[in-house]
Amino acid sequence: MNLVIHRGSNQIGGSCVEVESQGNRLLIDLGLPLDAEGDPRQFLPAVSGLDGKDSSLLGILISHPHQDHFGLLAQISPDVKIGMGAAARRILTAAAPFIRDRLPPPVSGWSFEHEKSLQIGPFTVTPYLVDHSAYDSYALLIEADGKRVFYSGDFRAHGRKSRLFESIIKNPPKEIDVLLLEGSSIGRLNNGETFPTEQEMETDLVKAFAATKGLALVHASAQNIDRLVSIFRACKQTGRTMVIDLYAAAVLEATGNLKLPQSSWDGVALFLPKSQRVKVKKAGWFDLLEQHSSRRIYMRQIQKEPGKYVLLFRPLHLSELESSACLVDASYIYSQWEGYWGKDDFDEVKSLLARHQIAEHHIHTSGHASPADLQKFAEALKPDKVVPIHSFMPGKYADLFPNVEIHVDGERWKVC
């Protein structure tokens, strides 16, 4: 079995790895780099078959539904088969109408199930469900030619699915020749430090909501399901209602998990910002709206008692919040990766906060494992070689792991 890291050997995001056996190939992830600007087609790796015309490319395996792992799928032929988690596929399908320019159309392919192997040409692929900030995320064991490569994908040990980390530590796959190990936290945390847990995020949110007299705005991704659960639980503890938009309602439903907050639950309300009201009319989304409108509220209700609500905020809410006069004594909580905060996209948000003298608070934890948890993971799997990926600091791996072997982008190498 031969491998090529097309992108990711010395950066976070834009991940893409090619595995080859007996003239057949699979790609693992096809991500858009985090710093990508301009036409996304310029970031496509030089891989034959992305146009659907080379049958030796059997398909693409997507570890999880984050743009830096799937974001180039919209730029390739729909004839290329795609493997991913069934819930992840449903989430991307539900999200696509809201952000068409960034998501691929629904595509056919394989559906991952935890520890259920797939035979794809000469490759045996076994997905392992992992704890990550993206719902339905997987690590992947790839076997061919008597060799075993384990692709960690993105994972952590401090989310609401931390039991998955403990499970793989207690019962790891055996005889791993190569571990392609993400290292997003390497260089960000000292080796002994850990990230706050998602339960600690819930506690911090409770404190923030309790200290807010007016409307609480939480700027978080609707696809960070762990965080939505934390927000909902914090709302319950402070007597508030979590207000979501139609996009978030569709994503939550697409998980297929009725134990997660849904638009019909007590303690949840649906509010349609103007842009979504326009889309409902233009695109005829009346069935979708009716499906989620049992607990719909309007701005006049939020205006009347803003202290009763927590709004899952997105910039599309800006104009109505500004004109509604419901921002007195409001609070704003930023609950995403800090790297986004410095981008120009947030200038309007920052201006609104300044105009209304609303303080900005960060309540967030990483979707990635700490260096200590990365070490536990590698120690459990006992690979012959650890190969850095999804990290800006491949040179620091040797300080944490034995048998580190560095490979650069574009280098084709054989699994020995």
**pLDDT (tens digit per residue) in 266-314:** 999 999 999 999 999 999 999 999 999 999 999 999 999 999 999 999 9
Is residue 358 within 8 Å of 322, Cβ to Cβ? no
pLDDT at 346: 85
pLDDT at 99: 80
> Residue 106: pLDDT band by 50, 70, 90 thresholds?
low
Strands 216-219 and 309-312: parallel
- Confidence check: pLDDT of 345 > 80: no
Question: Strands (DSSP E) along 22-151, which ranges?
Answer: 24-28, 57-61, 82-85, 111-112, 118-120, 123-130, 137-144, 147-151
Query: Do 204 and 320 reside in the same domain of the chain?
Result: yes
- Confidence check: pLDDT of 30 > 90: yes
Query: Do 321 and 220 reside in the same domain of the chain?
Result: yes
Q: What is the pLDDT of residues 255-270, one digit of tens each?
A: 999 999 999 999 999 9
Per mean pLDDT, which range of 91-100, 119-128, 259-268 is the poorest? 91-100
| Percent of the chain scoring above 90 in pLDDT | 89
Number of domains in the chain: 2
pLDDT at 238: 98
pLDDT at 222: 96
pLDDT at 344: 73
| Whether pTM exceeds 0.75 | yes
Strands 118-120 and 57-61: unpaired
Over residues 1-24, the mean pLDDT reads: 97
Query: Do 78 and 132 reside in the same domain of the chain?
Result: yes
Query: Do 106 and 78 reside in the same domain of the chain?
Result: yes
Q: What is the pLDDT of residues 144-199, one digit of tens each?
A: 999 999 999 999 999 999 999 999 999 999 999 999 999 999 999 887 889 999 99
Over residues 104-125, the mean pLDDT reads: 91
Q: What is the pLDDT of residues 136-149, one digit of tens each?
A: 999 999 999 999 99
Domain that holds residue 263: 198-362
* C-alpha closest to that of 365 among 195, 232, 182, 160: 195
Query: Do 205 and 162 reside in the same domain of the chain?
Result: no
CATH of the domain at 58: 3.60.15.10
Q: What is the pLDDT of residues 211-226, one digit of tens each?
A: 999 999 999 999 999 9
pLDDT at 101: 64
Query: Do 353 and 378 reside in the same domain of the chain?
Result: no
pLDDT at 253: 97
Query: Do 112 and 240 reside in the same domain of the chain?
Result: no
Q: Render 156-207 in DSSP notation, one character per residue.
A: -SSSTTHHHHHHHHHSPPS--SEEEEE-TTBTTB-TT--PPPHHHHHHHHHH
Query: Do 39 and 156 reside in the same domain of the chain?
Result: yes
Which of 345, 362, 379 is a domain's end point? 362
Query: Do 258 and 378 reside in the same domain of the chain?
Result: no
pLDDT at 105: 62
pLDDT at 209: 98
CATH of the domain at 342: 3.40.50.10710
Query: Do 146 and 228 reside in the same domain of the chain?
Result: no
Q: What is the pLDDT of residues 355-370, one digit of tens each?
A: 999 988 999 999 999 9
pLDDT at 342: 73
Return the CA Rg of the chain.
22
pLDDT at 359: 87
pLDDT at 120: 98
Query: Do 11 and 109 reside in the same domain of the chain?
Result: yes
Query: Do 157 and 253 reside in the same domain of the chain?
Result: no
